[in-house]
Amino acid sequence: MRTGARILVTGGAGFLGSAVCDRLIAEGAQVVCVDNLLTGRRKNIEHLIASSRFTFIEGDVRTDLPEGPFNEIWNLASPASPPQYPADPVGTLLINVNGMHNVLELARRCGARVFQASTSEVYGDPEVHPQTESYKGSVNMIGPRACYDEGKRAAETLCFDYQRTYGVEIRVVRIFNTYGPRMDPKDGRVVSNFVVNALAGKPLELYGGGVQTRSFCYRDDLVEGFFRLMNHPTLTGPINIGNPNEFTIRELADLVLEMTGSTSGLIEKPLPADDPKQRRPDISHARELLGWEPKIQLREGLERTIAHFAGVAAEAKVA
């Protein structure tokens, strides 16, 4: 429990950030949520606004962090899906680098422990499978995804340099593909794309034939992994948090069509530049050091996610 702790969550109105805010409030913390609403949504946190222990600040991690003191800072501020990067690639890079620097400086001043939501994208289009934390990655540093991939890599570097140089406590998680309620239906991630289109009777787009693989972790499992690392007295990470069960994108499409009962067809499109062909986490460290592994498998998680998006679609029709 975190009763009485004062905690800052950057990107706290996002898909994952809002779930972290929920958990922190449930544990008794005083939560300050900062989000510029570029990809986060006020709707994700509107149920928390009435709480006297929750404060929302519409601000940017690059410029608008409130002064402490804080006991913990959870940094989840960043666009997080490939279609969002090209909209503002420079901004994406600077949110990850300058934003991380600001978070660490604030933590240094007030003695806060820092959680960094890193990503499996630090592994790039991997030449090692599955990916272990010791794998250094294969990233195209001048490609269209580099603003995010290299931004997250640089953010990890800053974390460990601040730990070594200034003694800042850090906890770094590498997130593998995650899905669940509160995903933005327009954010371009594959699960939300498939579910939203299937429910609307629109075609599902398969890039590169859909033979590339991903490993899908349900949101609640992921957040539990976050808290196990953040609560650990000494472990810094980086730690892979994800579901090691691997599916092709075509298998995902077929499952979504089956579960929604949709008659949507499939459209073939070229594979985007630098899109990883394989992605699966080795979670040995999470199992051994945190006692964590995912409990909700893809069919059950999709059932919940489909119900969420069906509800969103119904609300939109009423409005």
pLDDT at 188: 85
pLDDT at 312: 84
Report how far residue 82's alpha carbon sits from residue 60's, in angstroms, rounded to the nearest whole number. Answer: 21
Does residue 309 fall inside a structural domain?
no
Question: Rounded mean pLDDT of 257-263?
Answer: 97
The two three-digit tokens of residue 228, written as one number: 């196990």
- Among 50, 47, 45, 51, CA closest to 9: 45
Domain that holds residue 84: 6-179+217-244+280-296
Does residue 120 fall inside a structural domain?
yes
Does residue 89 fall inside a structural domain?
yes
Does residue 306 fall inside a structural domain?
no
CATH number of the CATH domain containing 146: 3.40.50.720
- Give whole-number Cα distances, 248 to 8, 63, 127, 277, in Å: 37, 40, 17, 10
SS3 204: strand
pLDDT at 109: 97
The angle subtended at Cα 47 by Cα 46 and Cα 51, nearest 5°, is 105
Does residue 38 fall inside a structural domain?
yes
Does residue 289 fall inside a structural domain?
yes
72 phi and psi, to 5 degrees?
Answer: -140, 150
Q: What percent of the chain has pLDDT over 70?
A: 99
Cα-to-chain-centroid distance, residue 305: 16
The angle subtended at Cα 174 by Cα 206 and Cα 280, nearest 5°, is 45
Question: Rounded mean pLDDT of 33-42?
Answer: 95
pLDDT category, 315, cuts 50, 70, 90?
Answer: confident
Write down the catalytic residue from 85, 123, 135, 148. Answer: 148
pLDDT at 273: 81
pLDDT category, 68, cuts 50, 70, 90?
Answer: confident
Question: Rounded mean pLDDT of 249-278?
Answer: 92
Total domain count, the chain:
1
Is residue 319 over pLDDT 60?
no
Question: Rounded mean pLDDT of 111-134?
Answer: 96
Question: Rounded mean pLDDT of 286-315?
Answer: 94
Model pLDDT for residues 180-238, shown as the tens digit of each residue? 999 998 888 999 999 999 999 999 999 989 999 999 999 999 999 999 999 999 999 99
> How high is the mean pLDDT of the chain?
95
pLDDT at 85: 81
Does residue 76 fall inside a structural domain?
yes
Question: Rounded mean pLDDT of 247-253?
Answer: 97
Residues ≥6 apart with Cβ < 8 Å to 264: 197, 198, 201, 202, 203, 204, 257
Q: Which residue has the tokens 């010791």?
A: 134
Whether residue 148 lies in the annotated active site: yes
pLDDT at 318: 58
pLDDT at 127: 94
Report how far residue 197's alpha carbon sits from residue 267's, in angstroms, rounded to the nearest whole number. Answer: 12
Report how far residue 251's alpha carbon sits from residue 18's, in angstroms, rounded to the nearest whole number. Answer: 29
Is residue 117 over pLDDT 80?
yes
SS3 108: helix
pLDDT category, 86, cuts 50, 70, 90?
Answer: confident
**Residue of 83 and 30 predicted with greater confidence:** 30
Does residue 271 fall inside a structural domain?
no
Look up residue 315 and give its DSSP letter: H
Question: Rounded mean pLDDT of 114-123?
Answer: 97
Report how far residue 195's alpha carbon sits from residue 179's, in angstroms, rounded to the nearest whole number. Answer: 11
